[in-house]
Amino acid sequence: MSRGKYLSLEEARNSGKLDQFAKEHPSEADRKRFERLLEAMAKGVLEEKETSQPDHDDGSSETRTRKGTS
């Protein structure tokens, strides 16, 4: 891999230089907002509501068989 002006994320991951990548690509985002979003995604909660209902998800593959094929 030839290196250009900046280290790419793939190159940084493969070479263990994520700190260098972070220095070259400073974040302009709201860190606290991102962390809240990430935590909500990990817990399956969005705006204090669950994103899925366990009662309806248990034992269902959510697939249907086409008519005339069974």
Residue 52 falls inside a structural domain: no
Which domain, by its residues, includes 30? Answer: 1-47
Question: How many whole angstroms separate alpha carbon 41 and alpha carbon 38?
Answer: 5
Residues 45, 51 contacting (CB under 8 angstroms): yes
Residue 25 falls inside a structural domain: yes
Predicted pLDDT at 16: 92
pLDDT tens string, the chain, 70 residues long: the values are 555 688 888 999 999 998 898 888 887 778 888 888 888 888 886 665 555 555 555 566 667 777 777 6
Count of structural domains, the chain: 1
Residue 67 falls inside a structural domain: no
Residue 58 falls inside a structural domain: no
Tokens 């069974």 -> residue: 70
Residue 55 falls inside a structural domain: no
Residue 20 falls inside a structural domain: yes
How many degrees, rounded to 5, is the angle at CA 68 between CA 62 and CA 69? 60
Question: How many whole angstroms separate alpha carbon 62 and alpha carbon 70?
Answer: 17
Question: How many whole angstroms separate alpha carbon 20 and alpha carbon 6?
Answer: 10
